Every structure is written in structure tokens, then in C-alpha cells.
């Protein structure tokens, strides 16, 4: 008898017993099949589907792996697996439950999920302990759609895991809801292309990647022609990694992409040149964060963030979390591996949604959490890690920009520091190479999705802040080439988040909030139009060109307004700004069904277009009113038509704005968490004042006064519920209390109308 028979068996195989194979649903979902007592299993009971065992077992192909020579020797196999602790090479079977550390069982919902292989939030410094993946969470990334492949000359390389076995076994087996035998559905070009080593750009131990610009001292075209091993080459103290598409012919036609690898070891205190010790600020920051927010409360806040913030600001990689399909609650072990500065800013943004979590409502554990301390931890961490370009630093920076500062309604729209922080975010995104389309890069698919989303978040934030403040946009149009987002950029691998609507179906559909981009797809598309509005009207050259040319301003505005209208037609009815409210149809509050911020952004963009047209009208004290010129010098007919059309469209937009503001309800309070949302209300208030000053006759002035009074009344009512409205109301009251005569040079008929309004207000108490 073989002596190895007496040795204790490795604790891996007992889980998947051949005598009790998984049911058909669990096999298709690549999920563990757990039967508590009698059938059905927990998965089928949750989904409401029949628990059957009709499908035959999947035929598994034997793959040649790097440890094939020792596959039959347990000791050597164990030693080989220890060389790659992030993904041990075995038969894909998990550890028995009793051998897993108890801390990994911590979960805050009724459905426990087994541990998983290294799954961090995003780029992290460490990995999880050496444990295997359970099929319940073994979620390979779906192949990119054909439409996405058509956007790039090179076919997307499928995601590979941490070793060749995972690449060959999992990525050929898994696709969108298909069995492993469905490999014939794959793209033929993808099957014939030579495979490339799939390695993360953000998980290179001991190094941080930095994009090498086209005019850098080391010519990327020169580096492309050098010999390299798996895309990496080394000079003395100058290692770099070249990105290859896998097509030798297309490679010579594409712009070379090279990343310098900067060492992150032995980083000393930048404020102390004599410091000899290596810093470890993360441990101290994590202890400080745990003292403020206990880990059990932290996972709850993370869940609230994923439910209410993420759909409109998809800054995280949910595939790197061990999420429950019922509650989107991550494991505690994942949060332990997440940078403290990133957790702090996530907690700060999630705190306003505490009412949506019953446990937080009952325990009141959120009541004593100081938001200012969370902001301080986040900012200190970002500044400390700014020396090393990482995706987690960019994520924390973008989230930090969304936190509203105390006393914000009475402050300037953007402080100097926030604008500098935005510039840092844009600079960091370029350093990380996010401005390049990574669809054909040999990196993990989850990282492709994350990099693409992060770029579009950076673009949207920079565009709207530049447009609403008038500062220079740090993003140049001809310096980025990331293709538009699609639903494939938002999927969570092999995880469906059921809602009341999807739960009732036999085969649950993927949640639109989690897997289909919900409103951020349309936010990104609207931001492209906003960028064109900025470059057409509000740069220095554009202002000098259009501010005194009414015809040019009108024609430019007409085309931009048409684009906004076309965009609005593409938006689903539940996101459209003027869609009728149907609260009865809403059956769940798992996610925020409000897209009020998107409707506000669209209407504000229209207001900014109208403002550019109105500033070119010569109706202020600087020149005579076109409508008041003598008959002998009447303007051309086309100009009179343009003026009437411009004023009519502006009035229509303002009336829609008033209707929109009146229709805001408590469910929309969860939508206005963007820090720039309050600036929109302020910009609208200022445009109403401009419309009054640009009125060409007494009747137009009266109409403008009516709109002004209606807008003011709506803001006063809604400011009780929405703090973001305070900024617009504050700007309006400042002008009204100071008096138009004291602030502006008004024409006589405007002063008469304002005086009549003042007299009418003074008579109200007398009539009572």
C-alpha cells in the first residue's frame, strides 16, 4: 500500500461530494448548493425557482498547468501552491468550513457566503490569506461584448486569473450565464490570437506604475522595439512595462503605451529629510478609523454606499468585494484590506443614508460618528500616498471632492484647495494612464472596467466644476481617447442583485442599478455636451468671440440645445426630467429611484446656454436696446425673430425648472449628494436676475418679475428639506435685499416694475 495513504488528506475535497452534486440552478450560477434539511436549496428558495437535478454533470477538460509534474504528490503540490498564496493551484475545491477562520464568517445578512480568494476593494497593498475560492463567489469576468470589440482594432484579451490554470480553466468555462460547454459562442478572433500574460497594472508588488508620455525623455516608440519578457523590460534602475495588444501587425500601427515602474519600498517621511525609519502610517490610520467607526458599522455603511451612491458615482470595483446578492454587504476581511483613507471617505458619504439601514436605525451607532474626523483621515491619507500613483488614491480623491464642507451655502462655490485637489485628480488619472482606452490591454477585466469608469468620473467631475465655476478645464479634448461606457462596464461578476421586480421572475434579471449603469451612463453622455458648452461659450477665446456677436451665439446655442434635446430623448422615462411621478409603481427602496440630480444637471446646462445668448443682447446700460431703436434703424427681420425665439426658449426652460423644483419630494433627497448640485441652484437664480435686466420692454420685465417671485417661493419651501437649495436662495436674497437700484444700472421701465412690486408687498399687511 502506498505510504501516502496514511497521511492526512488535504482539507479541500470533502466540500464537493460526488454523491451530492449541486442542483441545476447552482451549477449554472457556479454557486455552492446548500440544502438545509429538505429541498429546495437556499439559492433556489431565495430566487423562487424549482430545485432540480436534471442536467448532466459538466465534462471538465484536463488542462496543462505549471504544477502538472507534481499534481499527484500532495506534499509537492502544497509547496507549489505556497509559492502563489493569492490563488493556490488545486482542483478548485474550497477548504472545509471548519478549517476557515471564524472572522471570515462575519456577515450582516441572513445569507452566509463562503470565503473567497483575494478580493479587495480596489488596488490594495495586501492579499487575503491562502484560501481557495468557493463556487458561490468564483466569479470570472464576462467577455466584452461585440460592440465593444468593434471600438478597438484589437480584440479584447479575456481575463486570466492569478495563474495559467485559472486562465485556461475558468475563462473558457464562464461566460454570461452559459455553461462551460458554450465555448463555441466565443469570438473566433479571440481564439486564434496568441494569449498574453494578464497582469494587473495596480498590483505589482513593490512598484507603482507611471504612464510614460509620448514626448518623455525615454521615447515610447524606442522602448516598443526593445526585447522584453512578458511585456516587461529592465534598465539599470529603470524598469518599465510595455502594453501589447497581442496583434503584431496592429501593434506597429498603434500608439505605444509604456509604464515606468517606480519602487515603493523604503519610503520616508517627505517632511523630514533626516528620517531614517520606514513609515507605516496605514496601521495608525486604521486604528484611528476603527476607534471612530467600528468594523461592524463600517460594513453597513459600505452597503449603503453601494446602494445609494455607487449607481451615480461608480468609483469602486464591486467584483473585488465578497458581496451578498441580497444586501450588497461586503465581508469584514475585505474592509481590513482596504486603505483607511478610502474607507473614511466612503463612510462620510454613506452616513446621510443611515435611515435606509434598519440595524443602524435601531442601534444608533452612527449618531456619534464625527464626519470632520473622517474627512481628516481621508485627506491625510491621500496627501501621504500622493507620492505613489495608485487607483485607490484617485478613488479617495474623487470621493473627497463630493463631501460638502461645513457652512457651504454661504461660501464660494469652490475653494482654492478643492480646485487644486481636482487638478491633482486629473493629473493622477493621466499618470495612471486612465486617459487611454484599455479594452485591448492584457489586464484583468475587472481592472478594465474600473479604469474606464474612473476616467469618465474624472472627466464628468472636471467638466461640471469647470463649467459651474468658469475656471480652466484641466482636461484637453485631444489628449484622451476612452470609448463611451456601456452596460458591460458595470457588471458584477456572476452576481445578480434581486429587486421586487426581478425576484418574481423565474430567471432573475440583473439589477439595472448594479449591472446596467443606471444613470451614470447618461451622466457621462451629458457631460460631453457640457464640455462642448464650456468650450463654445465660456473659455476666454470663446467669450471674446461670442459675447458681442448675438447671431453667432444664437446659432451655436441652437445646435447645443438640439443636442441636449436628442440626449433627453434617449433617456428612459424613469430618468427623464419631466417624467410624471408614479410613486405607487415603486415597490422597493433597496436603491434610490430618484434621478433628480441628473434632471437638475440637464436643466442647468440649458440655462447656461441661454445665459451665453442673453449676454450678447445689447439691452443693458452699455448700449441701446435693439427693441427700442427708432423705426428708421430697426434691426433685420431675422434678428428680431432670433430675439423672440431666444427669450421664448429661455422662459420655457425656466418654467420647467420651477415645475421641477416644485415636484421635488423626500425621495429625491438621496439624489442631491454631489457637492456641485448646490452650485446649479445658484446659477439658475443668477440667470433669472439676468433675464430681468435684459428685458427689452415693460411686459417682459413684468414676466421676469413673476418668474423671479415664483422661483423664490419654491426655493423657500424646498430649502426646508434640501440643504443644497440654500445656496441659490442665499444668492437671490442678497440681491433682493440690497436692491436692484443699488446693485445694477436698470432702465426706467425695469425700475418702475420693481417699484410696483415693492408697493404691492408693502400693502399686503394692510389688506389683511
> 168-177, 337-346, 593-602, 626-635 — which is least confidently predicted?
168-177
Q: What is the mean pLDDT of the chain?
A: 72
The segment with the largest mean pLDDT, out of 122-131, 159-168, 687-696, is 687-696
Angle at 401 between CA 397 and CA 403, to 5 degrees: 120
Whether the pLDDT of residue 122 is over 70: the answer is: no
pLDDT value at residue 216: 85
Question: Confidence band (pLDDT; 50, 70, 90) for 585?
Answer: very low
Higher pLDDT, 744 or 229: 744
Q: Quick one: which of 214, 261, 206 has its CA closest to 239?
A: 261
Can you name the residues that pair with 258 across neighbouring β-strands? 242
Question: Confidence band (pLDDT; 50, 70, 90) for 14?
Answer: very low
Average pLDDT over residues 713-727: 87
pLDDT value at residue 349: 93
C-alpha 515/C-alpha 492 separation (Å) is 6
pLDDT value at residue 592: 66
Higher pLDDT, 505 or 95: 505
Look up the pTM and report it. Answer: 0.71
Higher pLDDT, 274 or 598: 598
Can you name the residues that pair with 611 across neighbouring β-strands? none
The segment with the largest mean pLDDT, out of 41-50, 196-205, 507-516, 660-669, is 660-669
> 20-29, 226-235, 531-540 — which is least confidently predicted?
226-235
Q: What is the pLDDT of residues 247-267, one digit of tens each?
A: 554 556 678 888 888 877 655
The segment with the largest mean pLDDT, out of 424-438, 490-504, 714-728, is 424-438
pLDDT value at residue 292: 93
Q: What is the pLDDT of residues 535-562, one digit of tens each?
A: 999 999 999 999 989 999 999 999 999 9
Percentage of residues of the chain with pLDDT beyond 90: 28
Instruction: Tell whether omega for the bond before 702 is within 30 degrees of 0, i.e. cis.
Output: no
Whole-Å CA distances, 384 to 285, 655, 685: 11, 48, 40
Q: What is the pLDDT of residues 460-473, one digit of tens each?
A: 999 999 999 999 99
pLDDT value at residue 493: 66
Per 3-state DSSP, the chain is made up of helix, strand and coil in percentages (nearest 5) of 50, 5, 45
Q: What is the pLDDT of residues 43-86, one digit of tens each?
A: 787 777 788 887 776 655 544 444 334 334 444 434 444 443 33
Instruction: Tell whether omega for the bond before 40 is within 30 degrees of 0, i.e. cis.
Output: yes
Higher pLDDT, 476 or 52: 476
Amino acid at each position: 500500500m502506498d505510504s501516502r495513504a496514511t497521511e492526512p488528506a488535504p482539507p479541500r475535497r470533502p466540500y464537493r461530494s460526488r454523491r451530492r452534486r449541486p442542483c441545476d440552478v447552482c451549477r449554472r450560477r457556479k454557486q455552492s448548493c446548500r440544502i438545509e434539511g429538505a429541498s429546495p436549496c437556499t439559492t433556489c428558495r431565495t430566487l423562487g425557482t424549482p430545485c432540480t437535478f436534471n442536467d448532466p454533470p459538466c465534462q471538465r477538460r484536463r488542462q496543462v498547468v505549471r504544477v502538472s509534474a507534481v499534481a499527484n504528490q500532495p506534499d509537492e503540490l502544497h509547496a507549489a501552491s505556497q509559492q502563489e498564496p493569492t490563488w493556490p493551484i488545486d482542483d478548485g475545491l474550497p477548504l472545509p468550513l471548519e478549517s476557515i477562520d471564524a472572522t471570515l464568517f462575519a456577515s450582516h445578512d441572513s445569507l452566509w457566503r463562503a470565503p473567497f480568494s483575494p478580493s479587495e476593494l480596489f488596488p490594495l497593498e495586501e492579499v487575503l490569506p491562502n484560501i481557495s475560492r468557493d463556487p458561490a463567489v468564483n466569479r470570472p469576468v464576462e467577455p466584452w461584448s461585440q460592440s465593444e470589440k468593434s471600438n478597438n482594432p484589437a480584440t479584447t484579451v479575456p481575463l486570466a486569473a492569478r495563474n495559467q490554470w485559472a486562465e485556461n480553466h475558468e475563462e473558457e468555462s464562464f461566460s454570461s450565464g452559459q455553461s462551460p460547454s458554450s465555448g463555441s459562442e466565443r469570438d473566433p478572433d479571440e481564439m486564434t490570437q496568441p494569449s498574453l500574460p494578464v497582469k494587473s497594472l495596480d498590483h505589482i508588488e513593490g512598484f507603482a506604475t507611471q504612464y510614460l508620455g509620448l514626448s518623455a525623455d525615454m521615447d515610447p516608440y524606442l522602448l516598443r522595439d526593445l526585447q522584453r519578457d512578458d511585456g516587461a523590460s529592465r534598465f539599470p534602475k529603470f524598469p518599465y512595462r510595455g502594453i501589447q495588444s497581442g496583434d503584431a501587425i496592429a501593434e506597429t500601427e498603434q500608439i505605444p503605451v509604456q509604464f515606468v515602474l517606480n519602487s515603493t519600498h523604503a519610503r520616508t517621511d517627505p517632511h523630514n529629510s533626516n528620517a531614517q525609519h520606514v513609515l507605516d502610517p496605514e496601521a495608525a490610520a486604521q486604528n484611528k478609523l476603527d476607534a471612530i467607526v467600528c468594523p461592524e458599522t463600517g460594513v453597513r455603511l459600505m452597503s449603503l454606499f453601494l446602494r445609494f451612491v455607487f449607481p451615480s458615482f461608480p468609483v469602486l470595483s464591486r467584483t473585488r468585494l465578497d458581496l451578498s446578492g441580497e444586501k450588497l454587504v461586503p465581508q469584514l476581511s475585505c474592509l481590513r484590506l482596504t486603505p483607511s483613507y478610502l474607507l473614511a471617505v466612503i463612510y462620510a458619504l454613506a452616513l446621510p443614508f443611515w435611515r435606509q439601514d434598519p440595524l443602524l436605525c435601531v442601534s444608533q451607532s452612527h449618531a456619534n460618528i464625527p464626519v470632520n474626523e473622517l474627512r481628516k483621515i481621508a485627506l491625510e491619507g491621500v496627501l501621504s500616498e500622493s507620492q505613489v500613483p495608485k487607483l485607490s488614491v484617485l478613488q479617495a480623491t474623487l470621493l473627497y471632492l463630493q463631501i460638502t464642507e461645513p457652512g457651504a451655502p454661504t461660501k464660494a462655490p469652490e475653494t482654492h484647495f478643492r480646485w487644486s485637489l481636482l487638478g491633482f485628480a486629473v493629473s493622477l488619472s493621466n499618470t495612471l494612464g486612465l486617459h487611454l482606452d484599455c479594452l485591448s490591454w492584457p489586464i484583468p477585466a475587472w481592472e478594465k472596467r474600473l479604469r474606464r469608469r474612473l476616467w469618465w468620473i474624472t472627466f464628468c467631475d472636471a467638466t461640471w466644476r469647470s463649467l459651474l465655476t468658469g475656471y480652466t478645464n484641466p482636461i484637453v479634448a485631444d489628449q484622451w481617447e476612452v470609448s463611451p461606457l456601456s452596460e458591460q462596464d458595470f457588471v458584477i461578476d456572476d452576481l445578480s442583485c434581486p429587486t421586487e421586480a426581478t425576484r418574481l421572475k423565474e430567471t432573475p434579471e440583473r439589477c439595472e442599478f448594479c449591472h446596467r449603469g443606471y444613470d451614470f451612463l447618461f451622466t457621462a453622455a451629458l457631460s460631453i455636451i457640457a464640455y462642448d458648452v464650456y468650450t463654445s461659450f465660456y473659455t476666454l477665446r470663446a467669450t471674446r468671440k461670442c459675447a458681442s456677436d448675438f447671431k453667432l451665439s444664437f446659432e451655436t446655442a441652437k445646435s447645443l440645445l438640439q443636442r441636449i434635446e436628442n440626449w433627453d430623448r434617449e433617456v428612459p422615462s424613469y430618468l427623464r426630467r419631466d417624467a410624471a411621478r408614479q410613486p405607487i409603481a415603486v415597490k422597493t427602496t433597496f436603491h434610490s429611484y430618484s434621478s433628480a440630480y441628473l434632471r437638475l444637471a440637464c436643466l442647468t446646462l440649458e440655462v447656461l446656454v441661454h445665459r451665453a445668448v442673453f449676454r450678447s443682447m445689447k439691452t443693458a446700460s452699455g448700449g441701446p436696446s435693439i427693441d427700442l431703436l427708432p423705426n428708421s434703424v430697426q434691426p433685420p427681420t431675422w434678428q428680431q425673430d432670433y430675439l423672440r425665439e431666444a427669450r421664448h426658449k429661455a422662459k420655457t426652460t425656466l418654467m420647467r425648472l420651477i415645475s421641477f423644483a416644485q415636484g421635488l419630494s423626500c425621495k429625491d433627497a438621496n439624489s442631491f449628494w454631489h457637492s456641485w448640485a448646490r452650485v446649479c441652484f445658484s446659477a439658475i437664480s443668477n440667470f433669472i436676475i439676468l433675464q430681468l435686466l435684459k428685458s427689452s420692454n415693460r411686459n417682459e420685465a413684468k414676466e421676469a418679475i413673476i418668474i423671479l417671485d415664483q422661483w423664490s417661493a419654491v426655493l423657500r419651501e424646498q430649502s426646508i428639506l434640501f440643504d443644497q437649495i440654500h445656496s441659490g436662495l442665499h444668492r437671490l436674497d442678497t440681491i433682493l435685499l440690497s436692491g436692484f437700484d443699488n446693485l445694477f444700472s436698470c432702465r426706467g421701465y425695469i425700475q418702475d416694475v420693481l417699484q410696483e412690486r415693492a408697493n404691492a408687498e408693502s400693502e399686503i399687511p394692510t389688506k389683511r
